[in-house]
């Protein structure tokens, strides 16, 4: 009898966890949907005001990270 009671308790806890998970998922889904709707309205308003994405100029190509020193400058610096 003890085995049957334990099994029933485990099944009840498992079912309760499933119901709790479903409710929590539904609440989170509602929050995410409301947040995305609010963000969408905010973006539409910004676009209507002309505050859309800012176009940036292209980045210039990287310069050479290392340049060999000029031999004439080295000789000049040694004589000082």
Q: Is the pLDDT of residue 1 over 60?
A: no
Predicted pLDDT at 9: 94
Positive or negative CA dihedral for 57, 61, 66, 68?
Answer: negative
Q: Looking at the domain assignment, is residue 40 inside a domain?
A: yes
Please say whether the beta carbons of 8 and 14 come within 8 A: no
Residue with the larger pLDDT of the pair 37 and 1: 37
**What is each CA distance from 5 to 10, 19, 33, 44, 63, in whole angstroms?**
9, 21, 42, 58, 76
Please count the structural domains in the chain.
Answer: 1
As a whole number of angstroms, the distance between CA 79 and CA 64 comes to 29
Residue 3: give the domain boundaries.
Answer: 1-55
Longest dimension (CA), the chain: 102
Q: Is the pLDDT of residue 70 over 60?
A: yes
Q: What is the mean pLDDT of the chain?
A: 80
Q: Looking at the domain assignment, is residue 12 inside a domain?
A: yes
Q: Looking at the domain assignment, is residue 34 inside a domain?
A: yes
Each residue of 39-63: pLDDT tens digit?
888 888 877 777 766 677 777 766 6
Q: Looking at the domain assignment, is residue 16 inside a domain?
A: yes
């Amino acid at each position: 009898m003890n085995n049957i009671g334990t099994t029933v308790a485990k099944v009840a806890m498992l079912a309760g966890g499933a119901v709790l998970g479903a409710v929590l998922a539904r609440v989170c889904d509602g929050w995410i949907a409301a947040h995305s709707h609010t963000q969408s309205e905010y973006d539409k308003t910004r676009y209507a005001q002309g505050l859309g994405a800012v176009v940036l100029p292209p980045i210039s190509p990287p310069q050479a990270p290392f340049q060999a020193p000029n031999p004439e400058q080295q000789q000049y610096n040694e004589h000082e």
